[in-house]
Amino acid sequence: MAQARAGEFDEFVAVRWSGLLHLARLLTGGDRHRAEDLVQESLVKLWFVWSKVADEAPDAYVRKVMVRAAARSARRRWWGERPVAQLPDTAVAGDVSAVVAERSRLEAALGQLPAKQRVAVVLRYYQDLPEGQVAEALGCPLGTARSHTARGVARLRQLLADVIEPVG
């Protein structure tokens, strides 16, 4: 690969690393170590085709690689250790730990969703992708992607029901 292209790749990684890592954490159910492995694996695959996709859509390419790799790893039956959810202490107003606790609860709830539902919800609502691109990333028809998204959101509502307070 030409030196200029290698520099472009390095710049792409430097700019996108944090966002890709956060996306990977959501796709892997909050497991930081699996997320880092997922990002690294995806960037290695991107490196080999960088000259072909650099001018087109490297974000879409690496996102698709991440989604597929996350789905592959979710199909494996070994789940490893599972953390036990504990209710956090009551937060004080302006307490940063409350935000972290809520984010952790959401990541834990996402981790309980089936892989395709988790991917559909993350791509649709975290990445703010249109339904068509979600379907393309999942490799399924639009209606199936909508179904995965709707079921995932419904399950998240069940899992997080105690934090949703009625207005009024």
Please give the pLDDT value at position 168: 45
Q: Is the pLDDT of residue 161 over 80?
A: yes
Q: How confident is the model at residue 25 (pLDDT cuts 50, 70, 90)?
A: very high
Q: Is the pLDDT of residue 77 over 80?
A: no
Q: How confident is the model at residue 163 (pLDDT cuts 50, 70, 90)?
A: low
Short-list 163, 26, 159, 30, CA closest to 88: 163
Q: Is the pLDDT of residue 17 over 80?
A: yes
**3-state DSSP call for residue 148?**
helix
Q: How many Å apart are CA 12 and CA 6, to the nearest integer?
A: 10
Q: Is the pLDDT of residue 87 over 80?
A: no
pTM exceeding 0.75: no
Q: How many Å apart are CA 44 and CA 92, to the nearest integer?
A: 43
Please give the pLDDT value at position 80: 59
Q: How many Å apart are CA 1 and CA 38, to the nearest integer?
A: 23
Question: Considering the chain, what percentage of its residues have pLDDT values greater than 90?
Answer: 48
DSSP letter (8 states) at residue 56: S
Higher pLDDT, 45 or 5: 45
pLDDT, average across residues 45-68: 90
Q: How confident is the model at residue 40 (pLDDT cuts 50, 70, 90)?
A: very high
Please give the pLDDT value at position 46: 92
pLDDT tens-digit readout, 131-150: 999 999 889 999 999 999 99
Please give the pLDDT value at position 2: 58
- Domains of the chain in start order, with CATH, are 1-78 (no CATH), 93-168 (1.10.10.10)
